[in-house]
Amino acid sequence: MLNKLIKIAAIFMISSTFMFAASFNAQAEKDRKAFVNFFLKKFENPVANRAKYFPYVPKQELERDYIYPLKFQDFQDGPMSWYKPSREQFAEINDFPPYEIPLDDGKELWKKPFANGKTYSSCFPNPAIKQNYPYYDIKRDEIVTIGMAVNECRVKNGEKPLKYGKGEIAKVIAYIAYKSRGKKINIKIPSANAKKAYEAGKKLFYKQRGYLAISCNECHVQGAGKRIRAEALSPALGSTTEMPVYRIKWGGLGTLQRRLVGCIKDTGSEKPKMQSKPVKELAYFLTYMSNGMKLFGPDTRK
């Protein structure tokens, strides 16, 4: 009898956990599906849908320079997914991918023992983990990013944490990303506070800001598939799959947060700090939007 009761209680606890998890996820899933559909429809046939999505792009340009229809996974290539001139340049650049040398450095750093003789492998036995980051840690009640995880591993092994955004940390993350290639992004929203963090990130993404009064959405959702001068605007869908990226502008590798902070600054807003709560929330939301997409980092961008 007691055994039966314990079994029933256990089943109830497990099923209620799943039920609550699903409820935390419900709005986010609705958002994600609408987000993905928006991009699929937008790039289904830009020539036919010109009036709705590309009213200011000349028809000739749509016919000549646009690649379509795009499928879900195609969006991993950023502006190269839809814009022929960018794709041609990208193909030339990637004959000798500029991220290869920093990626090799990352591999060396991964294997290089800390002062205590251990390596990063002591914290991450399998480096193919990037698909799960950033994740919401219920115990710590905060978002944990891949950069934080790398630095926490260093501190745990008596090393100093690395500076976020570029340099050594970007190289180590590049190695993790490389080993995670092909894995599908799998971000979860496991609690009420995780849901709050997701909603905060969503708001930061859609709300206009800065003296230019623009939002991430205006350039990378509504504006995706258009140009600012000669630059093709990348779609937000899939934008976290290729991170960290070697940006020609940077002349080196940079992490997702470096890019996000730079983008926020470009709106004319005060530049937030990397790993600050709002930036982590934005990364959490943005990565969730690409759930199910295969990783392909590190990669090259202009």
Q: Name the site residues for another protein (rule: CB under 8 A).
A: 31, 34-35, 37-38, 202-204, 206-211, 213, 215, 217-218, 221-222, 265, 268-272, 278
Q: Shortest distance, CB of residue 224 to another protein, whole angstroms?
A: 12
- Integer angstrom CA distances of residue 31 from 27, 153, 228, 235: 6, 34, 27, 16
Q: What's CA 213's distance to the chain center, in Å?
A: 24
Please answer whether residues 256 and 240 qualify as being in contact, where contact means their C-beta atoms are separated by less than 8 angstroms: yes
Element (H, E) at 277: helix 277-289
How far is Cα 182 from Cα 82, in angstroms, rounded to an integer?
21
Q: Shortest distance, CB of residue 70 to another protein, whole angstroms?
A: 16
Q: For the chain, give the longest Cα–Cα distance.
A: 76
Q: Is 263 annotated as catalytic?
A: yes
How far is Cα 92 from Cα 34, in angstroms, rounded to an integer?
34
Residue type, position 49, single letter: N
Q: Shortest distance, CB of residue 176 to another protein, whole angstroms?
A: 29
- Encoded tokens for 246: 């070697």
- Our CB check for another protein shows the closer of 93 and 200 to be 200
From 123, 216, 219, 263, active-site residue: 263
Q: Shortest distance, CB of residue 31 to another protein, whole angstroms?
A: 7
CA angle in degrees (0–180, nearest 5) for 94-168-185: 60
Q: Shortest distance, CB of residue 34 to another protein, whole angstroms?
A: 4
Residue type, position 276, single letter: S
- Our CB check for another protein shows the closer of 97 and 268 to be 268
- Our CB check for another protein shows the closer of 186 and 208 to be 208
Q: Shortest distance, CB of residue 239 to another protein, whole angstroms?
A: 15
How far is Cα 104 from Cα 2, in angstroms, rounded to an integer?
58
Beta-carbon contacts of 241 under 8 Å, excluding residues fewer than 6 positions away, are 76, 185, 290, 293, 294, 295, 296, 297
- Our CB check for another protein shows the closer of 190 and 210 to be 210
How far is Cα 263 from Cα 267, in angstroms, rounded to an integer?
7
DSSP code of 78?
G
- Our CB check for another protein shows the closer of 150 and 221 to be 221
Catalytic site positions: 263
